[in-house]
Amino acid sequence: MDAISAFSTYEREALEAIESADSVDTLEAVRIEFLGKKKGRLRDLQKLLGQVDPAERPVVGQRFNEVKNRVGERLDERKNQLDRPEESSLTGLDITLPGTPVRLGRRHPLTQTIDEFKDIMGRFGFTVADGPEIEDDFHNFVALNIPEDHPARDPLENFYLAAASIANDRQALLRSQTSTVQIRVMEQTKPPIRIVSVGRVYRPDTIDATHSCMFHQMEGLMVGDSVTMAELKTVLHLFATTYLGEDVQIRFRPSFFPFTEPSVEVDMNWHGNWIELGGAGMVDPNVLTAVGYDPEQVSGFAFGLGIERFCMRRHHITDIRRFIENDVQFLSQF
């Protein structure tokens, strides 16, 4: 047999033996048989190489190296497979490919704003209270001193639920304001009270760049022996400057809410524009009475701020609908 065909036979037999080796030990035996330095079959091939005509040696030598390298490489590959049986058994998975880069998500800008609001108010001593989004007309209207004939109770202004009642013949609806939580907290707690409540509210408003039918409010309530309007103003001013910076101005405009007396609309001026923050005022004596407090003994202030508009102002977002479009490009900026 000439050297070239001896190399080919060696190569074929070595590769077959490598493929059929089913353990690291068997594979090691194959390595010793074909590549072993002392008695391996490669030594025989080397001897053959020494006998070829010097003129043919470059070509035959090249073939010898090819065969030797090919067998060596295949041995290494098979050894890797046998060393990691679980991975090799995952069909179709090439574990040598680079991994898919992981892209971490981020919190929604409104969630970031809400967390920041709670954090700021927490530093002023306000704890967080929660209330249900499906409310009853007692907490959304009656206890808030909103009479039966008030336009805020109009079916066209609210999402009343078809089921006639939650309990006690109360009409169920999606809450239209977080002021409901004032009542729920006062029903269960004695003064002093200092809470904020942040959450979704629902109104069938016409949707445009600054109005949505579902939005978020932060309610604040402070009740104690002698809480005053000056404290309300201080808290809102501190809140706005902490969130937006020292260059914010706060303005109170006389207004009316059935559950506060006096009532105000609160505006802020930031970088030259006035925007409405929300409503506020001193808790109406009728509300204090409805929850069993004595209005001669305690007083309090309350406010309700629209969260979307704050967040829009800070981040220069011009359309409230951007918050609910789920556009990853938009959301990934925050």
Nearest residue to 10 via CA among 57, 59, 66, 56: 66
Least distance from ligand FA5 to the Cβ atom of residue 164, Å: 25
Integer Cα distance of 155 and 94 in angstroms: 62
Residue closer to ligand FA5, measured from CB, 63 or 118: 118
Task: Tell me the three state secondary structure of residue 213.
Answer: coil
DSSP 37-59: TTT-HHHHHHHHHHHS-TTTHHH
Least distance from ligand FA5 to the Cβ atom of residue 92, Å: 50
E strands in 5-131? 127-128
Residue closer to ligand FA5, measured from CB, 136 or 308: 308
Tell me the residue type at 204: P
List contacts with ligand FA5 (CB under 6 A).
177, 179, 203, 205, 211-212, 215, 217, 257, 260, 276, 278-281, 302-304, 306, 308-309
Least distance from ligand FA5 to the Cβ atom of residue 157, Å: 10
Least distance from ligand FA5 to the Cβ atom of residue 154, Å: 14
Cβ-contact 108, 176 below 8 angstroms? no
Cβ-contact 288, 300 below 8 angstroms? yes
Integer Cα distance of 88 and 97 in angstroms: 14
Task: Tell me the three state secondary structure of residue 172.
Answer: strand
Least distance from ligand FA5 to the Cβ atom of residue 102, Å: 35
Least distance from ligand FA5 to the Cβ atom of residue 315, Å: 16
Token representation of residue 93: 């998975």
The continuous run of DSSP H or E covering 101 comes out as: none
Under 8 Å CB-to-CB from 169, ≥6 apart: which residues?
A: none
Residue closer to ligand FA5, measured from CB, 57 or 211: 211
Least distance from ligand FA5 to the Cβ atom of residue 94, Å: 51
Least distance from ligand FA5 to the Cβ atom of residue 308, Å: 5
Residue closer to ligand FA5, measured from CB, 17 or 277: 277
Residue closer to ligand FA5, measured from CB, 10 or 215: 215
Residue closer to ligand FA5, measured from CB, 21 or 302: 302
Residue closer to ligand FA5, measured from CB, 57 or 203: 203
Least distance from ligand FA5 to the Cβ atom of residue 295, Å: 16
Residue closer to ligand FA5, measured from CB, 171 or 179: 179
Tell me the residue number closest to ligand FA5, measured at CB.
Answer: 306
The pair phi, psi for residue 18, each rounded to 5°, is: -65, -45
Residue with tokens 């202004």: 157
Cβ-contact 279, 264 below 8 angstroms? yes
Residue closer to ligand FA5, measured from CB, 13 or 276: 276
- For the chain, what's the residue count? 334
Cβ-contact 269, 276 below 8 angstroms? no
Q: What share of the chain is helix, strand, coil (3-state, %, to 5)?
A: 45, 20, 35
